Structure 1
Amino acid sequence: MKQLNRWIAMGLLMLGVVFVVWGCAPYQKEEESPRTQAFESGEAEGAGKKGPKIGVSIYRYDDEFMRLYRLELKQYLEETYQAEVVMRNAGGDQEEQNRQMEQFIAEGCDGIIINPVEVQAAGRLADSASQAGIPLVFINREPGEEEQSRWKERKMAVSSVGTDSRQAGTYQGELLLEAPKKGDLNEDGTVSYAMLMGEEGNEDSRYRTEYSIKALEAGGMETEELFSGSGQWDQEKGEKLAKTALDTYGSRLEVIISNNDAMANGALKAAEEAGRIPGKDILLVGIDGLRDTVEYIKEGKMTGTVLNDHEGQARTASDILIKMLGGEEVDTAYLVDYIKITGISTFQNLEGEE
């Protein structure tokens, strides 16, 4: 009997231990995600909120303008929407960007932002995102109107944020019209220029080239193209093209118009090495508003540039994507205005707005 009582006591003791251990264990819902836990715990309402996972693919990291753009994009998404940003470099390879799109989908990204390597690939990229039910925003390189119409007709959660390159080109022409002698430095009645273009076949390059000259001619100036070439948006290539133009045409060359600031900075170096005095016996204009270029404007070496507002574009793209994630309808395209920068006072005004 004593032995039986001893076994009963031991059994009760063990049962008590089990209840104590079970009672101290944390309760977990088996199918609850970390994000759901964050919302239920109230973290989603505060600084610790975990926002959406956003995949971003940039056509090339070595493009200075896109470097500024992607840094602003990442910072704004993280600080404003507590997003987890997955940033990828396509390295100028469309096939690589296609793979990155598939990776974003496989990794469960909530939204995607693409700076396309080739605008012609926009349709395929849009279809991939749409089939996966993931909102997509194209940036910097805007797909054509036909493609945008397709998004609208099929009610696809796809949009684009960019600029009107015709406006940028027009502003370049106006910068020259505001310059000494309206660019006709030798006063022979004609503005003789070299044109440093971006990528061949690129819409931005085509419009910036075309409308800069249209603006000059609309302002009453005769124009003469002495030289043109594609510098692929690259500073070193722009410098080589400018050197060729300077060596070939010498003092006849009055103006170098570049489709972007990187090439304009290269042209400045070539002009100085050729013994020219930029800002006095040759005028240079660019587009983007890069910091180095603005410094050259302050020094009087560069006539002007047109600010390609990376900050405004990055924030607009982020806001549009978040709206789509919330189920809101958005337009298929949004445009952010360029801003002319012609001197120190203009730049100081810009700084004051930041």
Structure 2
Amino acid sequence: MKKFLALLLAMMMVLSLAACGEKEDAPAQEPTGQEETQTPEAPAEGGTVGVCIYKFDDAFMTTYRNALQEILEGKGYTVTVVDGNNDQAKQNEQINTFITQGVDALIINPVMTSAAATIIDTVKSAGIPTVLINREPTADEMAAYDKLVYVGCDAAQSGTFQGELILDTPNKGDINGDGKVSYIMIQGDPENIDAKLRTEYSVKALTDAGVEVEQLNLTRGDWDREKGQTICANDLAQFGNQIEVVFCNNDDMAIGALQAIQSAGRKVNEDIYLVGVDALDAALNEVQAGNMTGTVLNDATAQASQAVECMEGLLNGDTYAAGEQSVYVDYVKVTPDNVADFMK
């Protein structure tokens, strides 16, 4: 009997030690709370992004959208880019389709700046992180949604730089020496804030420098090369040698204006000055050849990179406070002296 009890006691001790050994190998973990505070990473692979462009046949936005697509796909996103055909109603449908498809994020170049409030309300209701590009809403409109950011450039700066390009000429734009600079303005879409600010600040740079100005004509050209040519041709026919400076809100219109200037037998930088904005390849070639006084680099690639960076921040949980939702990329003046630095 004693031998049996001793054997039973020994077996119980062995089982007890084995159980203790298992506990030491796999000690219990107390919750740290870290799981609740970790920020989810952006869906770098398998994430879907919808990109809405106001119209594909805009030269600058072609450069911009190609850069966006290349950057996003290089990071592993599935990207769908759609053409709004300059039709806000069509773009609204495209945005709603992307929302229905469940995209992770949206990058939108609005057809109309005035539609921004509607767009913002739509993406806010869907809870989709959104980056607006190229056409800037008001701060009050953007403040309605904290998962929204605008990426672009300060259009006032581009206008100022255009004016400074004229001020940097030997006669500050006063070719005929009558004490004032007589100009025509070929404007983009006046509903677009960029067009408004470029128009205003290009001339303001001259008046702030004490230069007297005379506006001979201002005509809407809708960012279009053919319209730029037609407008400039008509103005040259009407005002002739009175025109000393041709301001264009973008390079496409400036290249059209150049065709009209050359057809009229005028010579840029000798008897007329011509400036644009965007630094398109075609414009850079004309600056280098002496056929444009200068242009202003609107860096599409830098803006595309910044837009993607902001989008990924939003996907990672970043939010933007009211008044801090605009992220700007600087413009750069391009002249015959530095144009080679910007050519491919």
Q: With structure 1 as the length reference, what TM-score do the two structures score?
A: 0.82
SS at match of 2:318: coil
| Deviation (angstroms), 1:329 | 2.6
Deviations 1:37-77 (A, max 9, x none): xxxxxxx9xxxx72410000000101000000000000011
Higher normalized helix content (fraction of residues): 1
Matches of 1:244 and 1:272 in 2, distance apart? 13
Matched, 1:233 2:226: no
1:86 equivalent in alignment to 2:69 = no
Identity among equivalent pairs (%): 43
Structure 2 counterparts to residues 238-253 of structure 1, below 5 A: 238-253=228-243
- Pick aligned residue for 2:121 from 108, 124, 127: 127
SS across alignment from 1:256: strand
String of CA shifts for 1:296-320, please: whole Å, max 9, x gaps: 0001110000111111111111110
In the alignment of these two chains, the number of paired residues is 299
Which residue of structure 1 lines up, in the alignment, with residue 298 of structure 2?
308
Aligned 1:89-168 pairs, distance under 5 A: 89-151=83-145, 156-168=146-158
| Structure 1 position 346 matched with structure 2 position 338 | yes
1:328 aligns with 2:318: yes
Checking the alignment, whether the CA contact within 8 Å between 2:162 and 2:202 is kept in structure 1 is yes
> Residues of 2 paired with 1:328 and 1:341: CA distance?
35
**In the TM superposition, what is the alpha-carbon distance from 1:121 to its structure 2 partner?**
1.4
User: What amino acid is aligned across from residue 200 of structure 1 in structure 2?
Assistant: P
Q: Which residue does the alignment assign to 2:22?
A: none
Q: Distance in 2 between matches of 1:269 and 1:180?
A: 24
Tell me how large the CA RMSD over aligned residues is.
1.5
Contact 2:51 2:107 in 1 (8 A): yes
C-alpha separation in 2, matches of 1:255 and 1:158: 40
The residue number in structure 1 matching 2:23 is: none
Specify the SS of the correspondent of 2:176: coil
Structure 2 unaligned blocks of 5 or more: 1-40
Contact 2:219/2:231 (8 A) holds in 1: yes
Q: Which residue of 1 aligns with 2:21?
A: none
Which of 246, 256, 265 is matched with 2:255 structurally?
Answer: 265
Of the two structures, which has the highest relative contact order with CA contacts closer than 8 Å and spacing of 6 or more?
2
CA offsets per residue over residues 73-98 of structure 1, 9 Å max, x none?
Answer: 0001111x211110000000111001
Shift of 1:203: 1.4
Structure 2 equivalent of residue 7 of structure 1: none
Structure 1 residue 252: deviation in Å?
1.1
183, 186, 211: which one pairs with 2:176? 186
Shift of 1:159: 1.1
Separation in 2, partners of 1:60, 1:201: 16
Aligned residue for 1:150, secondary structure, equals coil
